[in-house]
């Protein structure tokens, strides 16, 4: 018994379901389409299927690792030009992915996090120092969070600062990454005629950007190889720890691809998630008060400069705020999965081997299993008893299965430390005229968000 996957009304001859595609906000548009068409639907554009899945029952099957796996979907494939065989863009089951996964896993254990803790703390202290010099002015939140996360991943990953807190504009390296990401996002929209909108000049700029990014990273690697200092960061792991399975190290080109991958994957998602969290805290003073109370309890002495690693792990309420932020506004709005073999989903929808679906977290995280008011920001949804009462697969902000996020603990530790420290030092004051607008650039982010950080 097969059920046809619904598609949008008004199908055009030849081109198909291009009506109603939204280039600026494709994920939010998809959210609306799911409300109309149900937990799974399909657009067909010049014979190509784009399937979107978001219902709890459908996703339970699509997350099943024995029947589905990560799909290197078009936006990810497009990024391969920039990130090559880096972990995020590598094809499933390749030697390149397996070797890098084995080499890098020790860089993401709890002990490794302990090693990054002091660097994270001192970087947050730098951020706060820079804010104190501009007291009373509203802060461009995503720009500031972006400085923080780029510095943290730069230092913990490769021992490099981008001087973000000392300069007015952005570092040329960061600007080149942004342009290259933007280029790859725009060239991945699967509309037949959109390719033309990207002119030759942009294509040339993109080639230049990628060449420049690679040369900067090559210099970082050369400097490391020539230096005599010892480091404990991701670059050190890649240069000095061979894959335990094969005894072989990663080659130079692959190490360069990984460095670029971590700068991309570790930076914008975390910075956007922090920005959403600060917006939600500013607009939910009762929640902010509880975060404040929790941090004050472990950090009563304001003169003592920082939190210890073990104290951060005990910030249970702040952690629920982060979990709930990533539910409502998953910075990575979804992930691609493909059928390993012919199979049936949710008792009727047919997938042939290789057929893929995009799991829209934005909608999965608002499924009816979340209750009657999924738009409400309520960190208590993540109390242990409430987590237990829900199926686990309806919350997947870090992806699913073996290709899920390697940086999850890294991001969580960094976000906990940053939010706790900021709330400890400042009152976060919302602009009463601001209403949340969510912009999309592969990731989701609050557009035009400004907040005032007032010393307590
Ligand atoms: C993969 C989300 C932070 C590195 C992923 C995936 C998601 C995700 C959804 C799966 C992608 C897919 O299935 O195609 C997030 C979110 C973050 C975050 C929401 C922050 C709030 C980080 C950080 C790092 C990182 C801090 C590095 C330090 C990676 C890498 C992969 C990945 C390397 C690919 C893993 C693989 O395929 O083996 N992330 N991420 N992420 N993430 Fe993250």
The confidence score (pLDDT) of residue 157 equals: 93
Say whether pLDDT at 29 is over 60: yes
The pLDDT mean for the chain works out to: 90
Beta carbons of 1 and 27 less than 8 angstroms apart: no
Say whether pLDDT at 23 is over 70: no
Q: For residues 18 and 227, give the distance between their C-alpha atoms in angstroms, rounded to a whole number.
A: 55
**pLDDT bracket for residue 214 (50, 70, 90):** very high
The confidence score (pLDDT) of residue 289 equals: 98
Give Cβ neighbours of residue 111 (< 8 Å, ≥ 6 apart): none
Closest residue by Cα to residue 38 from 70, 75, 6: 6
Ligand 1 cavity residues, CB under 6 Å: 70, 87-88, 101, 153, 261-262, 265-266, 269-270, 273, 331-332, 335, 397-399, 403-407, 410-411
**pLDDT bracket for residue 88 (50, 70, 90):** very high
The catalytically annotated residue of 405, 410, 443, 453 is: 405
The confidence score (pLDDT) of residue 48 equals: 81
Q: What residue owns the CA closest to ligand 1's atom 23?
A: 266
Q: Which atom of ligand 1 is nearest to the CA of 261?
A: 33
Say whether pLDDT at 372 is over 80: yes
Lowest mean pLDDT among 99-108, 293-302, 318-327, 370-379: 293-302
Q: What residue owns the CA closest to ligand 1's atom 18?
A: 269
Q: Which atom of ligand 1 is nearest to the CA of 267?
A: 26
Q: For residues 234 and 245, give the distance between their C-alpha atoms in angstroms, rounded to a whole number.
A: 19
Q: What residue owns the CA closest to ligand 1's atom 42?
A: 405
CA distances (Å), origin 410, targets 107, 108, 117? 10, 7, 10
Beta carbons of 125 and 305 less than 8 angstroms apart: yes
Say whether pLDDT at 282 is over 80: yes
Lowest mean pLDDT among 3-17, 41-55, 236-250, 416-430: 3-17
| 3-state helix vs strand vs coil in the chain, percent to 5 | 55, 10, 35
Three-state secondary structure readout of 142-195: HHHHHHHHHHHHHHHHHCCCCCCCCCCCCCHHHHHHHHHHHHHHHHCCCCCCHH
The confidence score (pLDDT) of residue 427 equals: 95
The confidence score (pLDDT) of residue 75 equals: 85
Say whether pLDDT at 194 is over 50: no
Ligand 1 mean position, distance from CA 411 (Å): 9
Say whether pLDDT at 389 is over 80: yes
Q: What residue owns the CA closest to ligand 1's atom 5?
A: 405
The confidence score (pLDDT) of residue 314 equals: 92
Give me the mean pLDDT over the 124-141 stretch: 90
Q: Which atom of ligand 1 is nearest to the CA of 234?
A: 28
Coil vs helix vs strand at 75: helix
> Is 269 one of the annotated active-site residues of the chain?
yes
Say whether pLDDT at 27 is over 90: no
Lowest mean pLDDT among 142-156, 167-181, 254-268, 371-385: 167-181
Choose the residue to mutate in 405, 408, 417 for probing ligand 1, maximizing ligand atoms within 8 Å of C-beta: 405
Ligand 1 mean position, distance from CA 174 (Å): 19
Give me the mean pLDDT over the 56-78 stretch: 95
Q: Which atom of ligand 1 is nearest to the CA of 149?
A: 26
Q: What residue owns the CA closest to ligand 1's atom 20?
A: 270
Which residues sit in the known binding site? 405
Our CA angle for 354, 403, 162, nearest 5°, is 125
Percent of the chain clearing pLDDT 90 (strictly above): 70
Give Cβ neighbours of residue 118 (< 8 Å, ≥ 6 apart): none
Ligand 1 mean position, distance from CA 17 (Å): 31
Greatest mean pLDDT range, 3-17, 193-207, 415-429, 434-448 = 415-429
Ligand 1 mean position, distance from CA 107 (Å): 14
Say whether pLDDT at 193 is over 70: no
The catalytically annotated residue of 158, 377, 398, 453 is: 398
Alpha-helix runs per DSSP H in 193-266: 200-226, 234-240, 252-265
Sheet with 450-455, edge to edge strand ranges: 139-140, 450-455, 426-430
The confidence score (pLDDT) of residue 74 equals: 86
Ligand 1 mean position, distance from CA 272 (Å): 13
Choose the residue to mutate in 116, 407, 416 for probing ligand 1, maximizing ligand atoms within 8 Å of C-beta: 407
Our CA angle for 28, 31, 37, nearest 5°, is 145
Give me the mean pLDDT over the 108-132 stretch: 94
Which residues sit in the known binding site for heme? 405
Give me the mean pLDDT over the 363-384 stretch: 96
Choose the residue to mutate in 92, 264, 265 for probing ligand 1, maximizing ligand atoms within 8 Å of C-beta: 265
Say whether pLDDT at 59 is over 70: yes
Ligand 1 mean position, distance from CA 59 (Å): 19
User: Higher pLDDT residue, 432 or 32?
Assistant: 432
Ligand 1 mean position, distance from CA 106 (Å): 16
How confident is the model over 310-346, as pLDDT tens digits? Answer: 999 899 999 999 999 999 999 999 999 999 999 999 9
**pLDDT bracket for residue 198 (50, 70, 90):** low
Say whether pLDDT at 126 is over 50: yes
């Amino acid at each position: 018994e097969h059920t046809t996957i619904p598609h949008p009304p008004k199908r055009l001859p030849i081109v198909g379901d291009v009506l109603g595609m939204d280039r600026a906000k494709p994920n939010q548009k998809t959210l609306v389409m799911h409300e109309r068409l149900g937990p799974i639907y399909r657009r067909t554009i010049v014979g190509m299927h784009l399937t979107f899945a978001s219902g709890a029952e459908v996703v339970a099957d699509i997350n099943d690792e024995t029947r589905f796996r990560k799909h290197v979907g078009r936006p990810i494939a497009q990024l391969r030009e920039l990130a090559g065989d880096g972990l995020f863009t590598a094809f499933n089951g390749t030697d390149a992915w397996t070797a890098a996964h084995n080499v890098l896993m020790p860089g993401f254990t709890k002990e490794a996090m302990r090693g990054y803790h002091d660097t994270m703390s001192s970087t947050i202290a730098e951020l706060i120092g820079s804010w104190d010099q501009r007291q009373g002015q509203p802060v461009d939140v995503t720009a500031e969070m972006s400085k923080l996360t780029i510095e943290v991943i730069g230092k913990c990953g490769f021992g490099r600062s981008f001087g973000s807190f000392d300069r007015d504009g952005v570092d040329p390296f960061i600007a080149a990454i942004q342009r290259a990401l933007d280029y790859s996002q725009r060239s991945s929209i699967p509309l037949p005629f959109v390719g033309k909108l990207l002119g030759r000049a942009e294509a040339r700029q993109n080639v230049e950007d990628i060449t420049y990014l690679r040369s900067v990273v090559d210099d970082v690697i050369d400097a490391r190889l020539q230096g005599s200092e010892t480091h404990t960061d991701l670059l050190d792991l890649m240069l000095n720890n061979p894959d335990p399975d094969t005894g072989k190290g990663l080659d130079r080109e692959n190490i360069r691809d990984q460095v670029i991958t971590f700068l991309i994957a570790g930076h914008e998602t975390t910075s956007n998630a922090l920005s959403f969290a600060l917006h939600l805290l500013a607009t939910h003073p009762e929640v902010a008060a509880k975060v404040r109370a929790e941090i004050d309890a472990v950090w009563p002495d304001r003169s003592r400069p920082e939190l210890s690693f073990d104290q951060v792990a005990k910030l249970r309420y702040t952690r629920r705020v982060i979990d709930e932020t990533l539910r409502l506004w998953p910075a990575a709005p979804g992930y691609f999965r493909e059928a390993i073999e012919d199979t049936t989903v949710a008792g009727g929808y047919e997938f042939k081997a290789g057929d893929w679906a995009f799991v829209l977290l934005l909608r999965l995280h608002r499924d009816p299993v979340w209750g009657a008011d999924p738009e409400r920001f309520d960190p208590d949804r993540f109390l242990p008893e409430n987590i237990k009462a829900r199926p686990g697969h309806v919350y997947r902000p870090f992806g699913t299965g073996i290709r899920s996020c390697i940086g999850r603990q890294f991001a969580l530790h960094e976000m906990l430390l940053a939010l706790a420290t900021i709330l400890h030092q400042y009152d976060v004051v919302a602009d009463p005229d601001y209403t949340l607008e969510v912009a999309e650039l592969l990731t989701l982010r609050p557009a035009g968000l400004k907040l005032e950080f007032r010393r307590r």
